[in-house]
């Protein structure tokens, strides 16, 4: 590798870490709370509700556990203060992007808001105790946000659209006589769904970029990655099990064959 | 060195971008036009549309108060001009004034508008030199509007039909 290659790599890395990723996450923070009124066609900005901040905290913990955010590597005593500051700033942008990503797929009010919030809390809380690597975590998050997007912006939007969407007709036929008053939700213009889709796509793309930006170039076996995530006691148990397996194997030499 | 430059520029740009997002969520503009108006206000370059203001004033003088208010609202969409807000409050007063009773809803809106006018000129007392008006200061107008909202025994005085509109 020539000096020019090294320089280019370093410049590109700096561009991604300090410009592209924070800008991308801030765009998610901007678009996540944006809705378009169904009748007035005007902007409606919805600040992240408190529950989305809680969900974002859980998600950040999950990102750290999954190895997507390597906080201990990004903020260190031996790095220049400006670099540490930039990395802390990026974590802040990821936090608010996460909160707004949840905000974009949560119904705004009513029973459905709390139902969706509870589902997210349950999923994220359960995931805290699962073994994750960065790739599996990314796949899981893409599916989580994708499902919530389909539920809110396709099924529910169709149910509450003033014109009466396809789902409203199906639900009307299936639930004849059942009032949907308790599942009250505001109706937004179809553009809201496009904005939310764009925001979520940017968020997941940002996380993928973050995973690649964090790679040091050394490719390790998934088993090694999983081993690194174990506690000290669990690592000791694994090592002992490997050694026990070796002891149990009969000693053979080429001459025996 | 270049990496350091990118780092500083990136930090500066993204902090400015974050400040813009916070500002957007705080001001909650409803259209792109409102975004630009709010930006003009923040930058200190905001000016009212004088043509619309004058046309509203002529409507006001012809006692077409609602039309006048609409024009003034178009002249000052950000509600940042004390003089325009004073005239809006005055139009609420004149429309709501009645010989027998005052329209409480219009007077309430008048109080809101005059409060905006007062808030926009905190340094000096707002005075409007217009010979067609009987009240020239925001304080006078506010007192008149607030008096109209109060309930008292004088409301049943039959002589009040003789009072005059200012």
Asked if B13 has any chain A CB less than 8 Å from its own CB, the reply is yes
Q: Which region among A37-41, B75-79, B154-158 has the lowest average model confidence (pLDDT)?
A: B154-158
pLDDT at residue A183 greater than cutoff 70: no
Quote the minimal CA–CA distance from B148 to chain A in Å. 35
Provide the residue ranges of all domains of chain A, joining segments of one domain with +: 3-219, 221-257
Residues B43-94 pLDDT 10s: 888 889 999 999 999 999 999 999 999 999 999 988 888 999 999 999 999 9
pLDDT at residue A257 greater than cutoff 50: no
Alpha carbons B16 and B10: distance in angstroms, whole number: 10
Percent of chain B whose predicted confidence (pLDDT) is above 70 = 99
Closest in A7, A19, A26 to B6, CB measured: A19
* Global pTM value: 0.71
Quote the minimal CA–CA distance from B8 to chain A in Å. 8
pLDDT bin (cut points 50, 70, 90) of residue A215 is low
pLDDT at residue A182 greater than cutoff 60: no
How many domains in chain B?
2
Contact B10 A10 (CB under 8 A): no
pLDDT (0 to 100) of residue A251? 54
Quote the minimal CA–CA distance from A248 to chain B in Å. 55
Contact A89 B14 (CB under 8 A): yes
Classify the complex by whether its ipTM is higher than 0.85, answering yes or no.
no
- Cβ-Cβ contacts under 8 Å, A26 against chain B: 14, 17-18, 21
Q: Which region among A86-100, A176-190, B62-76 has the lowest average model confidence (pLDDT)?
A: A176-190
pLDDT (0 to 100) of residue A165? 61
pLDDT at residue A122 greater than cutoff 50: yes
Closest in B6, B21, B28 to A18, CB measured: B6
- Cβ-Cβ contacts under 8 Å, B36 against chain A: none
Residues B90 and B10 in one domain: no
Quote the minimal CA–CA distance from B124 to chain A in Å. 36
pLDDT (0 to 100) of residue A184? 61
What integer is the mean pLDDT of A44-60?
94
Contacts of A182 (CB under 8 A, 6+ apart): A110, A111
pLDDT at residue A85 greater than cutoff 50: yes
pLDDT (0 to 100) of residue A217? 46
Q: Higher model confidence: residue A61 or residue B34?
A: A61
Residues A135-164 pLDDT 10s: 888 888 899 999 999 988 888 877 776 666
Percent of chain A whose predicted confidence (pLDDT) is above 70 = 81
pLDDT (0 to 100) of residue B150? 85
Residues B39 and B57 in one domain: no
3-class SS at B48?
coil
Residues B92 and B145 in one domain: yes
Asked if B9 has any chain A CB less than 8 Å from its own CB, the reply is yes
**Mean pLDDT for chain A?**
82
pLDDT (0 to 100) of residue A152? 87
Contact B28 A45 (CB under 8 A): yes
CA B117 to centroid of chain Cα atoms: 6
pLDDT bin (cut points 50, 70, 90) of residue A247 is low
Matching residue, tokens 């994750």: A132
Residues B18 and B65 in one domain: no
What integer is the mean pLDDT of A180-191?
70
What integer is the mean pLDDT of B25-51?
87
CATH code of residue B94: 1.25.40.10
Asked if B28 has any chain A CB less than 8 Å from its own CB, the reply is yes
Residues B61 and B123 in one domain: yes
Q: Higher model confidence: residue A170 or residue A57?
A: A57
Q: Which region among A3-7, A113-117, A138-142 has the lowest average model confidence (pLDDT)?
A: A3-7
pLDDT (0 to 100) of residue B148? 87
CA distances to A190, A201, B57, B121, B147 from B137, in Å? 49, 56, 17, 12, 16
What integer is the mean pLDDT of B2-31?
91
Quote the minimal CA–CA distance from A25 to chain B in Å. 10
- Cβ-Cβ contacts under 8 Å, B8 against chain A: 82
A23: closest chain B residue by CA: B14
- Cβ-Cβ contacts under 8 Å, A47 against chain B: 25
Percent of chain A whose predicted confidence (pLDDT) is above 90 = 35
- Cβ-Cβ contacts under 8 Å, A18 against chain B: 6-7, 10-11, 14
Contact B28 A11 (CB under 8 A): no
Quote the minimal CA–CA distance from B139 to chain A in Å. 36
Asked if B151 has any chain A CB less than 8 Å from its own CB, the reply is no
pLDDT at residue A256 greater than cutoff 70: no
| Full residue range of the structural domain in which residue B136 is found | 50-162
Percent of chain B whose predicted confidence (pLDDT) is above 90 = 52
- Which of A3, A4, A22 would you mutate first to test chain B, the one with the most B CBs within 10 A? A22
């Amino acid at each position: 590798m020539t000096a020019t290659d090294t320089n280019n790599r370093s410049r590109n890395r700096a561009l991604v870490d300090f410009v592209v990723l924070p800008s991308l996450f801030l765009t998610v923070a901007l678009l996540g709370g944006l809705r378009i009124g169904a009748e007035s066609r005007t902007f409606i900005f919805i600040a992240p509700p408190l529950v989305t901040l809680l969900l974002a905290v859980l998600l950040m913990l999950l990102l750290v556990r999954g190895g997507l955010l390597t906080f201990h590597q990004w903020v260190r005593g031996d790095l220049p203060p400006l670099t540490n500051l930039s990395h802390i700033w990026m974590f802040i942008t990821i936090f608010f992007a996460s909160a707004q990503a949840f905000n974009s797929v949560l119904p705004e009010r009513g029973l459905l808001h709390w139902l969706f919030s509870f589902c997210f809390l349950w999923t994220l809380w359960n995931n805290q105790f699962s073994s994750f690597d960065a790739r599996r975590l990314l796949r899981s998050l893409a599916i989580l946000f994708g499902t919530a997007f389909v539920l809110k912006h396709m099924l529910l939007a169709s149910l509450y659209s003033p014109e009466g969407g396809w789902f409203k007709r199906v639900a009307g036929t299936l639930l004849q006589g059942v009032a949907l008053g308790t599942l009250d939700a505001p109706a937004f213009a179809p553009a809201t769904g496009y904005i939310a889709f764009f925001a979520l796509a940017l968020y997941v793309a940002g996380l993928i970029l973050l995973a690649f930006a964090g790679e040091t170039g050394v490719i390790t076996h998934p088993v090694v990655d999983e081993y690194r995530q174990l506690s000290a006691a669990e690592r000791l148990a694994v090592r002992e099990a490997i050694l026990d397996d070796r002891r149990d194997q009969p000693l053979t030499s080429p001459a025996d064959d | 060195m270049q990496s350091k430059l990118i780092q500083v520029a990136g930090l500066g740009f993204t902090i400015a971008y974050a400040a813009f997002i916070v500002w957007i969520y705080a001001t909650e503009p409803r259209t792109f036009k409102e975004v630009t108006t709010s930006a003009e206000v923040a930058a200190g370059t905001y000016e009212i549309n004088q043509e619309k203001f004058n046309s509203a004033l002529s409507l006001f003088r012809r006692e077409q108060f609602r039309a006048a208010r609409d024009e003034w609202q178009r002249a000052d969409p950000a509600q940042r001009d004390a003089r325009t807000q004073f005239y809006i409050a005055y139009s609420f007063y004149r429309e709501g004034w009645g010989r027998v009773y005052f329209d409480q809803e219009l007077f309430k809106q008048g109080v809101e508008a005059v409060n905006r006018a007062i808030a926009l000129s905190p340094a000096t007392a707002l005075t409007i030199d217009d010979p067609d008006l009987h009240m020239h200061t925001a304080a006078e107008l506010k007192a008149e509007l607030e008096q109209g909202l109060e309930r008292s025994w004088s409301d049943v005085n039959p002589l009040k039909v003789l009072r005059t509109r200012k």
